[in-house]
Each structure stands twice: as C-alpha cells, then as structure tokens.
Amino acid sequence: MQIKKELYFFVFLGLILLALFLRVYHLGQFSLFSDERSSVLLGVANTNQGGMGELMRPDKTFTPADFWAPRGIKSWLDADARGDVSGNSLVHDMMLKLFAWFFGKGDAAMRSVSVMFNMLTIWVMFRWARQFTKSNIWTLAIVLFAAIEPFFVVYSQQARNYATSLFFTTASNYLFWLLVIKREGDLNGNKKYLLLWVIASIGALFSTYLTVLALVGQFAYMALFVRNKSIWLRMITRLGIILVPFIAWFIWGPARYFMGFQANAAEQLITYIKKNGEIPGWLEFATPSNLFKRTISILSDHFFWTNDLYVKHGFKIGTVLLAGFLFLVYQWVKSLDRANRGVYVLGIIQIVLPVVFLFAAAVNAGTTSGFFLRYACFGLPFGIFLSVGLFDYILKQAIWYRIFAFVYLLAQTYQLVELFVPLYTDQHQKYTFSVNRGPNPYPLIASTIQAKYQKGDTVVYPSSKANILDSKYLRNLVIDPLDAQNVNLYLSETDSFIQRLDPYMQDSVLIKKSNGQVIVIFDFKKGKYRY
C-alpha cells in the first residue's frame, strides 16, 4: 500500500509536528518533582540530594559561591555514586549540564533533554521502518503510533533518564538489526555501522544499567538464529570494546556501589511496607496476585491495541484481551518468511526478557517497587512495530475483520489521547504519581532572595526529610540540606549571600536582618510545595 510522495511528505511532517506538540505542551507548567530534581542537581550542580552535608553544617555559613565552587573529578564521582542508583545515568546527566549552559536551568529547558531524545527515537524508528517495510503508509502508521504512545509523551515531560536510555537502546537495536539480521551484501562488515553500534550501546549502558538487557537480548537472538562465524567474530570483538568502560565503571567508578545501594534500598522498602502498609500501585508485596497484575500491565502497555485496557475493563478482561492479541501476533509472525520475521522475533525477545528479569528481581526483593514499565521500556519500539504489522495482517483478511480493526483503531486512539488530559492538568495520570503541582518554588525563592537580600542579612533554610529512604548513599543523617541545595541551584556563583541551615526548622525559608527582623520568604506548608 503506497501513497504519493508529495502527500507522504506532508503527512509525515504533520505527524512529527503533532509528536513535538504533545511533548512540549505545558512542558514547564508544573514543577519538577523529587526524582527530576535529583537528576538536575546531579547533572547541573554535581551534587546528590542530601549531599554537601559538610558545607551546609548547621554550625557553619556558606554562600552560593561556595555551592558552585569546583570540587574536582573525585568529588563529582562521589556525588554520582551517591545519586540515584549509584551513577546510572551519566549520559543523561551530561546532557542536562549542556542544556543548562545553553538554555538555562528552567524546568522546560531541563525536560527538553527528554523531548530531544524521544523525538530522535521516533526518527530512528521511522528510518528503521523504511528499511523493513515496502509500504510507505505503514511507516507513517509507525510514526503515528509513536507520536501518541503514552509512555513516550509522559516521559518526554520529565527530566529523568528514561527517554535518553530508550533512544540509545533503540539505536543499538536498529544497528544490530542492520548488522546481523538484514545482512544485505557486505553490510554486516560495514565498519561505520559497527562503530555506531558500539557508540549507541555504550551510550545505552551509561544511561541506565538495565540497558545491558538489550545487549543480552541481541546476543540471545544470535545464539538462537545466527551460525555465521564471521558475524559472531565481528560482534563479539565489538562487544568487548563496549564492556571495557562499563566494567571499569563498576570496578573503579560510582557503579561499584550499585549492588550495595540496591540491597540497602530493598531492605528499607520491605521494612517500610511491613511497618506502614502497602502504597497501592507503587510499593506492594511481591505476592502472586500483585506480580500477575504488574506483569499484565507492563506487557499490555507495550502494544497499541492493548494499552491501558486492564485499567478500563479490569485485569480479568485485560488479560483475556492481551492473550487474544498475542495469539494473533503468533499466527501472523508464523506466516512470515524468515527474511521478514527477524525484526519481530528480535522484538519479542527484547520485550519479554526485561519483564522476566524484573519479575525475578521483584520476587527476590519481596516488593514490586522496581517492577514498572519504565525499567522494561526498551521493547516499546518493537511493540509499535508489532502493533502496526498486525494491523497490516488483519487488513488482508475478510471485510468484517477490516471493519472491526478500523473501528477498534479509532476507539483505541481516542482513549490513548484522552490519557494526555490529566498530564496537561497535573491530575492523576499514567506512569507517575505527582499531582496538583504549581510552578517550581525554588527559582521563585532564589529570585526573592536576590531582590530582598541586603548586606548583613542571613538566609536561613529548613531541614526536612522528604524521602522514605534513608540510604547511606543518598541521605545525610544529621541534617537535610535539600531545600538549600535546590535554591542555590538557581543562584549565581557570583552571589555572596550568607546562608545557613536551621536543623530544628522544617518548612520556612527566612531572611534574618542584621537588626533582628525576620522575613518569611517561603513556607513549604509541611511539605505541600516540595512536590
């Protein structure tokens, strides 16, 4: 099925603009939440949440110049080690710093890193689709499904590393497909593609450690289907190049604390749940029922045709619909010849493998805190390929199947687009728990200090615990300088404001005048505005 080139271009342009609009609309409207601030602090200010405990001791004063003072590579590596899961998002953090230099530290600028990488992911998927399907209308369908994919849109609006890691794994899988599965002429020996595969794979590994599963999936495919020794030699030697910096990062870099952090966090989470009870939808015991529901939700959300159905119709009906969809996929993939089947078989491996790993990890930890789609998102592009491919297969069946498919397409498109409404109004939304946020309070506090501070004044910050985890890798056990850190992020290194922390004050940021007068700059209302 083909459409004219002129129309093809304008439809493609329209879909790309739609994708961009969905990702940038209200991009900076609502404040960064805790995990986003953690990424920004580490990426831009080279410090982790709760770090700088020595600089910000209650018996000392400090200035923004002290906060921004260079501390060398050792200090940065230490902060990275104490950050989210011990240095697992190096590439994303570097991009945050680069964007801060060029575009400032506003919330929209920080989230634009994710927008950029997700738009690049769509471009890779488009380029990939043009090479394994002869129908240009189906390449447009892939762009459409990617444009309105809820996971893509939601995580494009967060300053976290998921869109970054998704881009690099998609690029790595695409290049692997070119080198190993497509194998036209001497393509599998093309040094340019081999180099790009190495770069993309290293980028993936330094976006989040779980992306190593994408490499495991690639070589699992080779073990099952590739017998060409020259291909194995090329890929194995390049794999060695990929793993050298990754292993070094685990031996000498921040990642050496990774396993300790995981064990520490798992212990605290299971203790918390036993003491305080489950937090539905996030922190639950790894019971068979909870694991089953989480597995169904993750697998369902990989595919356009089953996305969110378990929410709309309950898990029983959602499971039946997912099983029916997977049966149709099996029938369709089985009907393909080997040349056309490879990309879909690789996709099935890349979808199933992370889910199996996360399932096992949840059983081992005793909780479902790490069993989410965001940790298994590397198969999402393949989920879109499978969804479009199955649609093409159904349209070759009897007229009644085609009518049903078109009606279902319209209904499912409507209900997926409907999911964006709470995203743009910051109500209860898919994939995230932050609701009812206002603008980021920390730039507001910083600008107020710059406007009202006079020589001889002292800015006083509260010390308030804001994280259920009290990990030795994350938190300072004496005081919590998080509010001070977040305000100083938006102050200049040339500012000389005298600042200190009050370990007994929990919510108010004050200016104490030299004459004893106290001005309340901001009150977090018992954490209401910490988001």
Q: How far apart are CA 8 and CA 15, in angstroms?
A: 11
* DSSP summary character for residue 438: -
* pLDDT classification of 475: cutoffs 50, 70, 90: very low
Q: How far is Cα of residue 94 from the mean position of the Cα atoms in its chain?
A: 15
Q: Which residues partner with 285 through β-bridges?
A: 367
The distance in angstroms from the start CA to the end CA of the chain is 49
Confidence bin at 529 (pLDDT 50/70/90):
very high
Give the E-state strand segments of 75-201 in sequence order.
none
Q: What is the pLDDT of residues 292-305, one digit of tens each?
A: 999 999 999 999 99
Output Rg (C-alpha) for the chain, integer angstroms: 25
d(CA 511, CA 448): 10
Q: Write down the pTM of the prediction.
A: 0.93
Residue 187 pLDDT > 70, yes or no?
A: no
* Burial (CB count <10 Å: 0-12, 13-18, 19+), residue 120: middle
Q: Are 326 and 317 in contact (CB under 8 A)?
A: no
Q: Please choose, from the candidates 345, 413, 408, 430, the residue with its C-alpha nearest in 3D space to the C-alpha of residue 379.
A: 345
Report the candidate in 88, 69, 72 with the shortest Cα–Cα distance to residue 80. 88
- Which amino acid makes up residue 226? V
Q: Is 209 exposed, middle or buried (0-12, 13-18, 19+ CB in 10 A)?
A: buried
Ranges of each domain in the chain: 34-106+440-523
Cα–chain center distance at 458: 39
**Between residues 256 and 320, the one the model is more confident about:** 320
Of the ranges 45-49, 255-259, 262-266, 416-420, which is most confident?
416-420
Residues 99-157: pLDDT tens digits? 999 999 999 999 999 999 999 999 999 999 999 888 889 999 999 999 999 999 999 99
Cα–Cα distances (Å) from 136 to 1, 9, 12, 186, 383, in that order, read 7, 10, 10, 26, 19
Question: Strands 508-512, 458-461: parallel, antiparallel or unpaired by DSSP?
Answer: antiparallel
281 has pLDDT over 90:
no
Closest C-alpha among 289, 290, 273, 269 to residue 281: 290
For residue 409, how far is the Cα from the chain centroid?
A: 27
pLDDT (average), residues 268-282: 89
- For 431: left if phi > 0, alpha if psi spans -120 to 50, otherwise beta; the answer is left
Which two tokens mark 221? 């495919």
Tell me, what's the pLDDT at 159?
Answer: 96
Report the DSSP pairing between strands 499-501 and 458-461: parallel
Contact yes or no for 531/434 (Cβ under 8 A): yes
